[in-house]
Amino acid sequence: MKLYRNLTIKQKQIVWAWGFLAIPVLFYTVIRFYPTGNAILISFQDWNLLGERTWTGLENYQKLFADPTFWKVFKNTFVYLLIGTPVSLVISFFVAYHLDKTRFMHGFLRMLYFLPFMTSAVAMAWVWRWFYQPVPIGLFNNFLSTFGIPQINFLNSTTNALPSVLAPAIWAGLGFQIIIFMAGLRAIPQSYYEAARIDGVSPWTVLWEITIPLLKPTIVFIVVFSSIGFLRIFDHVFNMTTGNPGGPLNSTKPLVLMIYETAFSSFDMGYAAAQTVVLFLVLLVVSLMQLLILRDR
């Protein structure tokens, strides 16, 4: 105590700051940094949890890049991204753009669109799974059959399964994106619109020449945020295709599901760790692209 009292105000501040940070720094070191290093380390080893950990160098990566399942899964992951991101971007922008211009019961409409964001992915995956079942169980096929339209095989078809799994993932994220878009739209100064009105510019030109360019930071944020989400898709896939995880012929299997199965069904930890490193690098590239695009503004 005497020692503390003799410190200058500045020194006391340093003691307090590190006192406050002691537990968090320990936490981040042990629960974030050490495991990151460990994952990279394990990716160069062969280990099935029970036996010895042996160094294998790049063998796991060589095996991975020669594995046709990996390429199938890699492709699936990017299909989720390349369909999911543009579709959710266009829908959420469209809704936000019109919702922004609507005054009547604005809060109520906004609530309808936002509610799915508050649901749990697992619960909703099961609801959608029920919707997709064949007659007489599934809602969609029952609906189609009342109009005499032939049934659609949603989850057990190699072509339809992936979009069917993707739909609830897009649906659940829309509310968040709509709110972010509306905040972005509100941030555009009204004076731009007034200037355009004085010049007699058509609404379509206003949209393309004023609104969308000024929304660029918002758009980049949403694209990156939802891209990362789709690259990490797991909950929906796991719950909509259980019993046959990854869908017929792995047609819906994303990278994270492959990681999960390699690590916790086959217990091939080294191989799974190599897959997580690949996922990490993919996510890193996507995030860096955001920085690059935002910089050249």
Partner 1 sequence: MAATEEIRLSSDALLKANKPKRPANMGQFLRWGLLFLGGIVMIMPIVYMISTSLKWPHEVYNLKLIPDEPHLENYTFVLEDGRFYWWFVNSIIIALITTLCNVIFDSLVGYTLCKFRFPGRYIVFIAILSTLMIPTEMLVIPWYLMSQQFGWLDTYWGIMFPGLMTAFGTFLMKQFFETVPDDFIEAARIDGLNELQIWWTVAMPLVKPALAALAIFVFLGNWTAFIWPLIVTNSVEMYTLPVGLSSFGDEADVAWELIMTGAAISTIPTLIVFLIFQRFIIRGVVMAGLKG
User: By CB under 8 A, what part of segment 256-275 binds partner 1?
Assistant: 256, 259-260, 263-264, 269, 272-273
Of 161 and 263, CB closest to partner 1: 263
Taking CB under 8 A as the rule, does residue 78 contact partner 1? no
Cis peptide before 189 (omega within 30 of 0): no
159 vs 242, which CB is nearer to partner 1? 242
Which residues does 245 contact at the CB level (< 8 Å), separation at least 6? 237, 238, 253, 257, 261
Query: Is 122 an interacting residue with respect to partner 1 (CB under 8 A)?
Result: yes
Question: Per CB under 8 A, does 295 bind partner 1?
Answer: no
Least separation in angstroms between CB 162 and partner 1:
19
d(C-alpha 145, C-alpha 261), whole Å = 37
| 134: DSSP letter | P
Q: Which of 31, 50, 66, 292 binds partner 1 (CB under 8 A)?
A: 31
193 binds partner 1 (CB under 8 A): no
The binder of partner 1 chosen from 7, 58, 82, 127 (CB under 8 A): 127
**CB-CB contact of 151 with 135 (8 Å):** yes
Chain positions 153 to 192 lying near partner 1, rule: CB under 8 A, are: 168, 171, 174-176, 179-180, 183
The yes or no reply on residue 51 touching partner 1 (CB under 8 A) is: no
Our CB check for partner 1 shows the closer of 197 and 216 to be: 197
Contact criterion met (CB below 8 Å) for 240 and 125: yes
**What is the nearest approach in angstroms of partner 1 to the Cβ of residue 79?**
19
Select the residue interacting with partner 1 from 6, 146, 190, 191 (CB under 8 A). Answer: 146
Residue 72 has which token pair?
A: 């199938």
Residues 6+ apart with CB under 8 A from 45: 53, 54, 55, 56, 60, 269, 270, 273
Which of 79, 87, 89, 121 binds partner 1 (CB under 8 A)? It is: 121
241 close to 252: Cβ distance less than 8 angstroms = yes
Q: Which is nearer to partner 1, 159 or 291 (CB)?
A: 291
Among 18, 55, 65, 71, binds partner 1 (CB under 8 A): 18
Query: DSSP class of residue 54?
Result: E
Q: Mask: binding to partner 1, 228-247, rule CB under 8 A, as x and -?
A: ----x-xx--xx--xx----
d(Cα 273, Cα 269) in Å, to the nearest integer?
A: 6
- Give the separation between CA 108 and CA 57, rounded to whole angstroms: 58
